[in-house]
Structure 1
Amino acid sequence: MSESNFKPTLRLLDATMIVAGSMIGSGIFIVSADITRNVGSSGWLIAVWLITGFMTITAALSYGELSALFPKAGGQYVYLKEAYNPLVGFLYGWSFFSVIQTATIAAVAVAFAKFTAYIFPVISEDHIALDLGLLTISPAQLLSIAVIVLLTYINTRGIKSGKLIQTTFTLTKLLSLFGLILFGLLAFKPEIWQQNWSNAWSLQSRISSGSTSSYTIFAALGAVAASMVGSIFSSDSWNNVTFIAGEIKNPQRNIGLSLFLGTLIVTIIYMLTNITYTAVLPLNEIAGAEKDRVAVTASQVIFGPAGTLIIAIMIMISTFGCNNGIILAGARVYFTMAKDGLFFRKAGELNNNNVPGYALWLQCIFACAWSLSGKYGQLLDMISFVVVGFYMLTIAGIFILRRKKPDAPRPYKAFGYPVLPVIYIIMGLSFCILLIIFKPGYTWPGMIITLLGIPIYYVLTSKRVVELQ
């Protein structure tokens, strides 16, 4: 079956909910603790989220041109292939399948399970459900696998099923987050606010006991880059909507618009949520929140004893909807790669519900394996370098494609071109260089995973040549 069998059923609202819903998982509820330990002040906590938000919106505005130029399934994989060559596109697709998408699905599913344990303690990650000798499996991991399998099954039933879950859960979590922000600001504590913002721009290392240590200027830049690993993870997956272009009505208009609206909404929510944290919690409590669960600590102040339950339910809703969007979108990349002869052939087929069922189940298997491994968190830290690297390459592709295809119809052109795309590339390059210098452990594993795709690519292309002969 060909790509023309995809049915364009998603409206602008649906596409925007996929952008926002895929971005908001568990990160906003957790990573501010680590950011605060790295930067040590309220001003820089907000600045890290602002820098990440600016980069995300800038990238989204740039991707709008590419999505209008290539309004078909595959998104970023297609953009890289067209701008550079099939190898670069494949290396993205390989990294996407092996870690970026599947490990993210695992991480989000386990986060769902961990917070479900607040309501049903028997599901705790601290318990052992199965002891297989070399591998112990917790109830949380089993629940995470069940969630991945359930959402995969729902999405094999057709795009309408996935769309209904995505729109419903994303609207619910947006309203929930706005509610948290509103009640948080009503619980505003002037003495804590004054304490947190009295020395707002002192960039320093902070530990939960309250002690701080200053940085050299160069080390301070490294601290900001290390902090952004968490905020970038929390803001990632915004590009998932480009993977399902074949199922969006009027994709030339609606993909670019949904990218802008979705990333803008999430950036505003992230900023306000962190301002709320600083309005009710001293910085030491943000930095030292138990298991980094800042939102739980803040909610206990805002809502009292019921706060833990409220946040647990919010995160369950958030992560469930987030994973639905990621699972729905990811399989379309493997579908397009299979059509190019660069993935399992059956992944390039649509089932009776006009969705890539085989690709969905293959993604499910790998994501479940990452859930069992327990290594998804470290991998996502390691892959952030690669993710930003591919974003830079893709945005640079706009300049290349304007030269290669000057007469191609462009119903939408990148806003702020060439200034904003160049700013993104400079910021992304700075982030990557600082990680190489200060956090090399966050860089070389991701690079190795990506480069492993080179021999795989040549094996696949040589087999394809043999088959054609």
Structure 2
Amino acid sequence: MEQPKQSFQKSMSLLDATMLVAGSMIGSGIFIVSADISRHTGSAGWMMLIWVICGFMTLTAALTYGELSAMFPKAGGQYVYLREAYNPLVSFVFGWTFFAVIQTATIAAVGVAFAKFTAYLFPSLDEDVYLLTLGDYQISSAQVVAIAVITLLTFINSRGINSGKLVQTTLTLIKIASLLLLILFGFLAFKHEIWHVNWNAEDMWSLRRLNVDGTYESYSTFGAFGAISAAMVGALFSSDSWHSSSSVAGEIKNPKRNIGLSLALGTTIVTVIYLLTNLMYTAILDLPQMASAAKDRVAMSAAQEIFGPFGITIIAVMIMVSTFGCNNGIILAGARVYYSMAQDGLFFKKVGNLNKNAVPAYGLWLQCVIACMWCLSGKYGDLLDMITCVVVVFYVLAVAGVIRLRYTRPDLERPYKAFGYPYLPIIYILMGIAFIVLMLIYKPDYTVPGILITLAGVPIFYFVNSKVKKNV
């Protein structure tokens, strides 16, 4: 029997919250996206600089969000921050985009990534093995495995926050340790000739197009800007979901302190690991090897150089653990955003209720259904590219919201103030705007559809809001 007055249980420690942040960030991206980045940049220096820029942006945003989380330690995180800094329309449009694509399509993509690498151990689960064919529409084994994993993790999280946090903290500690060991063994297998080729003074800062056949092409001035923005997409996506702990504020002990700390610690840990991992790649593989890695699986190529043929199995298991844990964190955090929307009367009413285990089960299962639909659509990959620009738009708005709130609501208690204010927030805003503009100019085929999906939330808001007013 459901308990209407059930409240969130504050059972997440600082370690749990930090592992939620780090675990939600580390999925399959770090094992794959460096191939695309190497093709866009064509040099080790620029490839590393892309990761440094994206790491700086992520850390800056996380440190700035610390002020927001201390002021508004409520379930919903970014949705709540945008509502308080601006108005319900802005926060609803974020919530709509978050539910329609950002969170649910990400869950689908990570679920399919888990299945793809599971297929290295069990070939019958490969994405090329079709279980059903209806004309041009096909359902693969990988899609079915992804749906099964998403459903299992949703069930685990519906059993209570303790179940979800146990899976999250345990798997995140395992994958951090695994990545550190991979980095260690990678540097132990250091190849001096490869390092010299990648880091020679003549080419290390040459920004150019690297083709899969190993040839290079020069960029025009405008083309160089487009290449940088395109390269940043993969690195930013690999660092996304860094704000996960803010969404579960209602379940974190001492939230005014621990949310901000978990954001800072989690993003720092992941940023350092990402930089070390990519540096290790440059000590094992030359740039053409990275650019031409089969299906962009750079980590697979590196592991084969380090461990021999057994390296494929090692990386497959690592990515399975990584994506399973990543999806658990994303699933756990996402439902709290829909819960906050429902509490404001802007989402299905039942989503605003907690079950007997004190978690928003309706939100969890609704999220599961939409994510499974994305799995079956096969279009989640395209939509993730389309939405990257929009994700940064909302981050910029939230960071700008810190500055706005300093002027509009100076009386609010601020247990923690944004580090480097106002300089770091302003730098982030300028960098974010530059990225958005470059994406609009150079990748309109991806960014315009993403913006249209987001803008679709405006008429939906007014429709939902009119219904709410009629019922008041």
Q: Which whole-Å CA distance do the structure 2 matches of 1:189 and 1:209 have between them?
A: 22
What residue is the counterpart of 1:68 in the other structure?
Answer: 70
What residue is the counterpart of 1:49 in the other structure?
Answer: 51
1:105 to 104, 107, 111: 107
Report whether the alignment pairs 1:388 with 2:398.
Answer: no
SS in 2 for 1:5: coil
What residue is the counterpart of 1:367 in the other structure?
Answer: 371
Which letter maps to 1:29? F
Taking every aligned residue pair, what percent have the same amino acid on both sides? 65
Report whether the alignment pairs 1:450 with 2:460.
Answer: no
Which letter maps to 2:197? Q
Q: How many residues align?
A: 468
1:258 to 255, 262, 279: 262
Which letter maps to 2:437? I
Which letter maps to 1:73? A
Q: Which whole-Å CA distance do the structure 2 matches of 1:43 and 1:372 have between them?
A: 39
What residue is the counterpart of 2:272 in the other structure?
Answer: 268
1:405 to 388, 405, 409: 409
Q: Which whole-Å CA distance do the structure 1 matches of 2:272 and 2:393 have between them?
A: 25
Q: Which whole-Å CA distance do the structure 2 matches of 1:134 and 1:289 have between them?
A: 29
1:333 to 326, 333, 337: 337
Q: Which whole-Å CA distance do the structure 1 matches of 2:134 and 2:394 have between them?
A: 38
What residue is the counterpart of 2:225 in the other structure?
Answer: 221
> Unpaired segments of 5 or more residues in structure 2?
none
What residue is the counterpart of 1:132 in the other structure?
Answer: 134
Q: Which whole-Å CA distance do the structure 1 matches of 2:27 and 2:437 have between them?
A: 27
Q: Which whole-Å CA distance do the structure 2 matches of 1:116 and 1:377 have between them?
A: 19
SS in 2 for 1:291: helix
Q: CA deviation at 1:2?
A: 7.1
What residue is the counterpart of 1:154 in the other structure?
Answer: 156
What residue is the counterpart of 1:207 in the other structure?
Answer: 211
Q: Deviations over 1:396-415 (max 9, x none)?
A: 00111112211111100000
- Is residue 77–residue 92 contact of structure 1 (8 Å, CA) maintained in 2? yes
- Is residue 72–residue 246 contact of structure 1 (8 Å, CA) maintained in 2? yes
Matches within 5 A, 1:307-326: 307-326=311-330
SS in 1 for 2:309: helix
TM-score (norm 1): 0.99
SS in 2 for 1:213: strand
Q: CA RMSD in A?
A: 0.9
SS in 2 for 1:130: strand
What residue is the counterpart of 1:189 in the other structure?
Answer: 191
Q: Deviations over 1:344-375 (max 9, x none)?
A: 11000000000000000000000000011111
Report whether the alignment pairs 1:235 with 2:234.
Answer: no
SS in 1 for 2:217: strand
Q: CA deviation at 1:3?
A: 8.2
Q: Which whole-Å CA distance do the structure 1 matches of 2:5 and 2:22 have between them?
A: 26
Q: CA deviation at 1:135?
A: 2.1
What residue is the counterpart of 1:285 in the other structure?
Answer: 289
Report whether the alignment pairs 1:12 with 2:45.
Answer: no
Q: Which whole-Å CA distance do the structure 1 matches of 2:383 and 2:464 have between them?
A: 25
TM-score (norm 2): 0.98
Q: Which whole-Å CA distance do the structure 1 matches of 2:51 and 2:377 have between them?
A: 30
Report whether the alignment pairs 1:177 with 2:179.
Answer: yes
- Is residue 40–residue 202 contact of structure 1 (8 Å, CA) maintained in 2? yes
Q: Deviations over 1:223-252 (max 9, x none)?
A: 011000100110000011111000000000
What residue is the counterpart of 2:86 in the other structure?
Answer: 84
Which letter maps to 1:232? L
Q: Greater CA deviation, 415-424 or 131-140?
A: 131-140
Matches within 5 A, 1:406-425: 406-425=410-429
SS in 2 for 1:205: strand
Q: Deviations over 1:365-404 (max 9, x none)?
A: 0000001111111101100000000000000001111122
SS in 2 for 1:188: coil
Matches within 5 A, 1:16-27: 16-27=18-29
- Is residue 3–residue 246 contact of structure 1 (8 Å, CA) maintained in 2? no
Which letter maps to 1:106? A
- Is residue 6–residue 358 contact of structure 2 (8 Å, CA) maintained in 1? no
- Is residue 6–residue 355 contact of structure 2 (8 Å, CA) maintained in 1? no
Q: Which whole-Å CA distance do the structure 1 matches of 2:117 and 2:426 have between them?
A: 40
Q: Which whole-Å CA distance do the structure 2 matches of 1:45 and 1:113 have between them?
A: 28
Q: Which whole-Å CA distance do the structure 2 matches of 1:375 and 1:49 have between them?
A: 27
Q: Which whole-Å CA distance do the structure 1 matches of 2:57 and 2:198 have between them?
A: 26
Report whether the alignment pairs 1:348 with 2:338.
Answer: no
Q: Which whole-Å CA distance do the structure 1 matches of 2:138 and 2:358 have between them?
A: 38
Q: CA deviation at 1:210?
A: 1.2
Q: Greater CA deviation, 4-13 or 356-365?
A: 4-13
Q: Which whole-Å CA distance do the structure 2 matches of 1:245 and 1:357 have between them?
A: 17
> Unpaired segments of 5 or more residues in structure 1?
none
Q: Which whole-Å CA distance do the structure 2 matches of 1:5 and 1:132 have between them?
A: 46
Q: Deviations over 1:20-50 (max 9, x none)?
A: 0000000000000000000000001100000
Q: Which whole-Å CA distance do the structure 2 matches of 1:90 and 1:261 have between them?
A: 29
Runs of 4+ in 1 over 3 A off after TM superposition: 1-4
SS in 2 for 1:129: strand
